[in-house]
Amino acid sequence: MGYSHYWDHSGFTDEEWTEFTKRVTKVYNRSDVAGHLDITHDYVVIVGECETFVMSKYPVEFGCCKTRRYSYDTSVVVCLMIANDVNENFRWDTDGSAYDGDFDYALSLYNKTFPVTDGVPLMSLKTEANNSMDKTERSKLRGLSITLQDLRNLQSSDAEWGWLTMMISPHDFDEEFVREFADRISWSMVMKRPMLLAQLSEEFIVEMKMKGFL
């Protein structure tokens, strides 16, 4: 079918829809994301290089948008994050992987546009570990900030730990965290995520290459 995103929900309340459209507009006003945006009373539409993304205010049993990773994909992912953040009944899935870095720019854009005090939508991302918590458990974390120290203090499995790393702002990454991520998840995942790789010193990268890790 091609690289796509999927979602369902039981409808937005008037308050949720107002907040959703306000946040989507804010993203477009403060960034250079691709895709033509059109907002009506009942729909948010993004026209890009592949399938048109349409988010309805009313219940959707199965929504799907194939983006093929074209430039407007970031706009679509950010809209899905916003919907998940404002609507408790919203669920989404994706062919992408946070571990592979598919959402790095979208995550950075969302965190920059909406500080932690506005809510943290990152728990909705599909990763290899996302099944370790169900929707109810994830919703309890909504609006909470997870710091590196919080993460290090948690007694969690590697799968849960890997999933929770998605709740940390990329701006908080440091080399110690990247090394721990590599040890608990994999070095190959570090190589696929530029925001992690950027935290490593040139000397450390050379050392890892000599040891055959990179």
Structure tokens belonging to residue 4: 């796509």
C-beta atoms surrounding 55 within 10 Å:
26
Closest CA to 12 of 65, 93, 82: 82
CA atoms lying within 13 Å on the CB side of residue 148? 13
Helix (H) or strand (E) holding 39: strand 36-39
Asked if 121 and 78 count as a contact pair (C-beta separation under 8 A), the reply is no
What's the pLDDT score for residue 104? 78
Q: Considering the domain boundaries, does residue 102 fall inside one?
A: yes
pLDDT of residue 67: 95
From first to last of its 214 residues, the chain has per-residue pLDDT tens of 678 998 899 999 999 999 999 999 999 998 888 999 999 999 999 999 999 999 999 999 899 999 999 999 999 999 998 998 888 888 888 887 765 677 778 877 887 787 654 344 443 333 333 334 444 444 444 444 456 666 666 655 555 566 566 556 656 677 777 777 777 766 766 665 656 666 677 777 777 677 666 5
pLDDT at 129: 34
Amino acid 52 reads T
**Residue 31 included in any domain:** yes
pLDDT given at position 119:
41
> What pTM value is reported for the model?
0.59
Burial class (CB within 10 angstroms; exposed 0-12, middle 13-18, buried 19+) of 20: buried
Q: Establish if 151 belongs to a structural domain.
A: no
Residue 204 placed within a domain: no
Q: Confirm whether 150 is domain-assigned.
A: no
Q: What is the pLDDT of residue 100?
A: 65
Tell whether 35 is covered by a domain: yes
**How many domains would you assign to the chain?**
1
Q: Which runs of consecutive H residues, i.e. helices, occur in the chain?
A: 14-30, 73-86, 104-113, 135-139, 148-153, 158-164, 175-184, 187-192, 194-197, 202-210
Domain membership of residue 101 as a residue range: 4-128
Whether residue 199 lies inside any domain: the answer is no
Q: Dig out the tokens for 42 from the structure.
A: 């009942």
**Residue 147 falls within a domain, yes or no?**
no
